[in-house]
Every structure is written in structure tokens, then in C-alpha cells.
């Protein structure tokens, strides 16, 4: 894909992987539709980007948001070429201690909201004969560590849907990928009593900009090349 002038929708765009990817795709000349709950942060990031950008503040669990994002991309910029389905939260813990209501909200964010946007985006892209859908999974979408099962389960669900949509997309011009980050320098684990980097003795985490470069690499492959999964992790992460 020639990225200059193409249009990307990015969820969870106000920090972390979403922000890092927005900055990288802006540098590539893409026009952006950014969304998260935090309007002030979104607008601050948009003002720093040297590209046409529009922001939509909203809760990713809002059932109307997926179609609104696609419609905004088309209405503002004429197309929707890439959807980076990235918003998510991480709740872990033992069965004895975990906050069950927080787990259920995580399922709504990490599974239901991801499914809604993925399927809406897929329908749009297939109807237009092309596009790229990227769903953020995790290294924990491929394996489980003790006390991470609830979170890992949401990412296993993302892996399953992504693989199915990839197969459905064959021959349509649409490409589908699961992004599988290891430990990245984000706020995802800030609420943990002990950060995983300290538990695993990882000296240098992957940076959001590193993920952005990986996604740009994937998007820039020629039309006959698909990258169904991309795992990006710290060199010190042994799992």
C-alpha cells in the first residue's frame, strides 16, 4: 500500500500503542481519524501531527461508535483504508481476589467492542474492494501465564475472530492482521502492584514508536503479501 494520502482509523489513540502508531502513520502521510475517551489528549496529539486529522471522543463500548468512525473517515477524507482496532484494558488476578465487575467490563471492551468494529470495518472494506484491518491481540493471545487467564481469554477471542476474517477476506483485496505485542511502555499495567517488567527483569521495554514502525512496515508490503500475525516483544522477554 502506498500510504501517502490514505486514511486510517485508530482506536485507543490518546496514548501508548495507539498514539505511537498515529505518529508513525502521520509521518507516512496518512490522514487520520483518532478516537478514545480522552478528548483533550486526542486534540493535543492531533495538533502535533503534520497531517489532516480528526478526533472523535467516545466510549469504545458505544454500539454506534464503529459505524460513526467509518462514516467520519469517508465523509471527511473520502475513504477508510486502514482500521487499527487497538483499544483495550488489562485486568488480571487470582480467582480469589480479581474484581469480577472489572473483568466483565474488560470483556465488553476487549471482545465485544473489538468484534463490533472489526465486523463493521470488514463489511465496509469488502464492499470497497480493499483495505487493511489490524486487531490488537497480545502475546497472551497465544499463551497463558498464571492469574492472566481472564485477560488472555479476551485476546484468544481476538485471535479467533481475526483468523476467521483473514480467511473470509481471501480474494477480496482486504488484508487482516493480529498484532501481538509483548511488554510495551504504556499505561496498561500501571495499576499492577508489581509491574511485569520488574517481575520478568526486563531492562528495556518495546516503545509505542517501535509498534508504529512495525505496523507501517506491514502496511507498506505489496498487495500480494499478507502478514497475518506480527509479534513484537522486548529482547529480554523470555516467555
What are the catalytic residues? 151
Q: How far is CA 18 from CA 118, 146, 201, 204, in A?
A: 16, 27, 25, 20
Q: Which three cell numbers stand for residue 120?
A: 463493521
Question: What is the β-pairing status of strands 31-36 and 53-57?
Answer: parallel
Torsion of CA 35, 53, 155, 102, to 10 degrees: -20
CA distance 81 to 24: 16
Exposure class string for 45-55: b at 16+ Cβ within 10 A, else e: bbeebebbbbb
Amino acid at each position: 500500500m502506498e500510504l501517502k494520502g490514505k486514511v486510517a482509523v485508530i482506536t485507543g489513540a490518546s496514548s501508548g500503542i495507539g498514539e505511537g502508531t498515529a505518529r508513525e502513520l502521520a509521518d507516512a502521510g496518512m490522514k487520520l481519524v483518532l478516537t478514545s475517551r480522552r478528548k483533550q489528549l486526542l486534540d493535543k496529539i492531533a495538533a502535533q501531527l503534520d497531517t489532516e486529522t480528526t478526533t472523535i471522543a467516545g466510549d469504545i463500548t458505544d454500539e454506534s461508535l464503529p459505524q460513526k468512525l467509518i462514516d467520519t473517515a469517508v465523509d471527511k477524507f473520502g475513504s477508510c483504508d486502514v482500521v487499527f482496532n487497538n483499544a483495550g484494558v488489562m485486568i488480571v488476578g487470582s480467582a480469589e481476589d480479581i474484581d469480577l465487575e472489572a473483568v466483565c467490563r474488560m470483556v465488553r471492551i476487549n471482545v465485544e467492542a473489538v468484534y463490533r468494529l472489526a465486523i463493521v470495518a470488514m463489511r465496509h472494506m469488502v464492499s470497497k474492494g480493499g483495505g487493511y484491518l489490524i486487531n490488537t491481540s497480545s502475546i497472551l493471545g497465544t499463551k497463558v501465564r498464571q492469574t492472566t487467564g481472564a485477560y488472555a481469554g479476551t485476546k484468544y477471542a481476538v485471535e479467533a475472530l481475526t483468523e476467521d476474517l483473514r480467511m473470509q477476506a481471501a480474494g477480496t483485496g482486504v488484508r487482516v492482521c493480529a498484532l501481538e505485542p509483548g511488554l510495551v511502555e504504556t499505561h496498561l499495567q500501571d495499576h499492577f502492584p508489581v509491574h511485569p517488567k520488574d517481575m520478568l527483569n526486563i531492562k528495556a521495554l518495546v516503545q509505542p514508536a517501535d509498534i508504529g514502525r512495525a505496523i507501517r512496515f506491514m502496511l507498506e508490503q505489496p498487495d500480494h503479501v499478507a502478514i497475518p500475525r506480527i509479534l513484537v516483544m522486548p529482547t529480554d522477554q523470555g516467555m
